[in-house]
Amino acid sequence: MTRFPLGFWLLLTVGSVWAHDDAYYSFDDFVKEYGKIYNSDEERQMRKEIFEANFLTIQDHNNNNKRDEYSHVLAVNEWADRRIPEELPLGLHKKAVVAEDDPLNLMFITRPTKKQSTDAAEAFYQDWLKNTVVPVSELPKEVDWRSHNPKVTTHVKNQGFCGSCWAVASTEVLESHIALKTGKLFKLSPQELVSCVQNPLHCGGGGGCQGATYELAFEYVMEHGMVPEKEFPYRSGTGFNVKCSLVNGTLEQESSSLLRRPFDDNTHDNDYIDGAVATIDGYINFPTNNYTELMNAVATLGPIGVTTAASRWSFYRGGVYEVKDHQTKGATDVDHAVVLEGYGIDQESQKPFWLVRNSWGASWGEDGYIRLKRVDPSTLPDFDEDDCGIDTDPSDGAACTKDKDGHTIKPKPVKVCGTSAILYDTFVPVGGRLISNKNKKESRKVQVS
Ligand SMILES: *[C@@H]1O[C@H](CO)[C@@H](O)[C@H](O)[C@H]1NC(C)=O
Ligand SMILES: *[C@@H]1O[C@H](CO)[C@@H](O)[C@H](O)[C@H]1NC(C)=O
């Protein structure tokens, strides 16, 4: 049995006490601590080898912490026997796509040409730009929506082994914005989104546990509303898709013609699903890579849906996460949706950070959260060079891999900025409201063919 001295990874540079008491930590300890069960000796051996490689990576990072002046530390967690990033639960692929028959490969189709989701959202956004947005220097020095009174954030969720980050993050953002608007903090159902949001254009993956996007989730909620968690509890954590079984509690069909395709004009009436308690009027997708707008958005509007390059976050334990090679794939390959819930300056290191809520359970990171290094572009000689990179990888699934005519389309590189590309693609729902019975149509009759 190989034992690793733990001495190195007793972490001294960061304030909190994260050190294991034991001087040694082995694969057997890990198996015991996390209740791991393997089906065969072969699997156990394979997991042991992965664990040992990951353990070395963790030690190495922590050991070099001082020299490289990283202010974040890593630690063993439940992913330590997983291949990283292949076996990380993410659930979002890049959405920038280009038509295959575009000979010059120049056309960026990053989102619908419509400026915002609805006229109401566009009007709200224009008013916000004009009357609310201020220079960053005039914003509060720190923001943390967890401390809002009354509460507007729920407990940290765990997506499990399902690529449902998009559904979980959308649900969390919706919970907060419905609470901010109505005073009612619901625990809403990510399973509803995982199971019921249709993804015919393969945006952000194949749908459900295979990935989708904020746009699809919000468009769905605008039309169908959201039910509380207890109406449709999360069951996809093992990685399996679950049928959309909400309508009248009996719908057992995989795809529903009731659900509209993404980006259609908002022409038909809303058709709220039975049990839905809340909805939104639209959502804003902010301009890409704009620090000023993102700071103002999280300071004045509430939690913000963001997309990130998270393939290297697996063993984050605490501190202000940063990358030294911000133009490499691990720093620019957008693959994960999470929620921005504030910002501040770390007392210990004096580094500014973004406060980000992840969906890997409350025992991951800092009580389920990660703080990402935040850099004000005005402090950089060359923002593009110093804090941006190109998300180039077309192979790991662009958001929309089909266009409206069913043609296959390929991903196109995009410029992404900020730590883990946090500035690239950001969203907020608008017009959160409760669904009262009189908004509801008569109970929907369902045809199961
Ligand atoms: C970012 O947004 C602000 C506020 O809308 C705007 O004044 C500024 O020009 C934008 N910056 C860039 C680089 O687009
Ligand atoms: C929906 O629920 C109502 C009342 O429980 C029931 O009478 C009706 O048959 C249900 N419809 C379907 C399609 O199951």
User: Which of 245, 246, 248 should be mutated for ligand 2, with most atoms under 8 A from CB?
Assistant: 248
Active-site option among 162, 165, 388, 400? 165
Contact (Cβ atoms closer than 8 angstroms) between residue 321 and residue 370: yes
- Residue owning the nearest CA to atom 4 of ligand 2: 248
- Nearest residue to 410 via CA among 9, 131, 96: 96
Q: Is the CB of 120 under 6 A from ligand 2?
A: no
- Ligand 2 contact, 248 CB (< 6 A): yes
Which range of residues forms the domain containing residue 173? 149-289+430-441
Distance 251 CA to ligand 2 centre (A): 10
If one counts the domains in the chain, the total is: 1
Structure confidence at residue 30 (pLDDT): 94
pLDDT of residue 39: 93
Cα 198 from Cα 257, distance rounded (Å): 9
Question: For this structure, is 165 an active site residue?
Answer: yes
Alpha-carbon gap, residue 120 to 288, rounded angstroms = 21
Determine, yes or no, domain membership for 339. Answer: no
Tell me the pLDDT band of 187, cut-offs 50, 70 and 90: very high
> What is the per-residue pLDDT across 29-38, written as a single tens digit (0 to 9) for each?
999 999 999 9
Q: How far is the CA of 229 from the centre of ligand 2 (A)?
A: 21
Cα(292) to ligand 1 centroid in Å equals: 7
Instruction: Give the integer Cα–Cα distance in Å for 4 and 22.
Output: 11
Residue 38 is assigned to a structural domain of this protein: no
Average pLDDT over residues 236-265: 53
List alpha helices for 155-256, DSSP H: 165-182, 190-196, 214-224
Q: Is 139 in the pocket of ligand 2 (CB under 6 A)?
A: no
Is there a catalytic annotation at residue 268?
Answer: no
Cα separations in angstroms, 85 against 207, 377, 386, 393, 396: 20, 29, 25, 14, 12
d(CA 366, CA 371): 8
| Residue 201 amino acid letter | L
Domain assignment present for 174: yes
The CA-CA-CA angle for residues 158, 159, 164, to 5°, reads 155
- Which has the minimum average pLDDT: 89-103, 202-216, 372-386? 89-103
- Kindly give the residue spans of alpha helices, DSSP state H, lying in 78-189: 119-131, 165-182
Q: Is residue 268 part of a domain?
A: yes
CA–centroid distance, residue 7 to ligand 2 (Å): 63
Q: Examine residue 401 and state whether it is found in any structural domain, yes or no.
A: no
Per the domain annotation, does 316 fall within a domain? no
- The ligand minimizing its distance to the Cα of 293 is 1
| E strand residue ranges, 232-321 | 278-279, 282-285, 304-308, 316-321
Q: Where are the alpha helices (DSSP H) in 106-164?
A: 119-131
202 among known catalytic residues: no
Q: Please work out whether the CB of residue 31 comes within 6 Å of at least one atom of ligand 1.
A: no
The answer to whether the CB of 409 falls within 8 A of the CB of 100 is yes
Mean pLDDT confidence for 261-274: 50
The structure's pTM equals 0.83
Evaluate whether 208 touches 194 at the Cβ level (below 8 Å).
Answer: yes
Nearest-angstrom CA–CA distance, 105 and 423: 24
Q: Is residue 195 part of a domain?
A: yes
Distance of CA 440 from the midpoint of ligand 2 (Å): 16
Does residue 95 sit within a domain?
Answer: no
pLDDT per position as a tens digit, 14-67: 333 344 434 478 999 999 999 999 999 999 999 999 999 999 989 888 887 665
pLDDT in tens, 331-340: 888 889 999 9
Catalytic residue among 77, 158, 289, 358: 358
Question: Domain containing 260 — which CATH number?
Answer: 3.90.70
Ligand 1: residue whose CA is nearest its atom 11 = 290
SS3 66: helix
Does 446 sit in the ligand 2 pocket, CB within 6 Å? yes
State yes or no: pLDDT of 356 exceeds 70.
Answer: yes
Candidate list 336, 388, 400, 417, residue with the active-site label: 336
Distance 122 CA to ligand 2 centre (A): 39
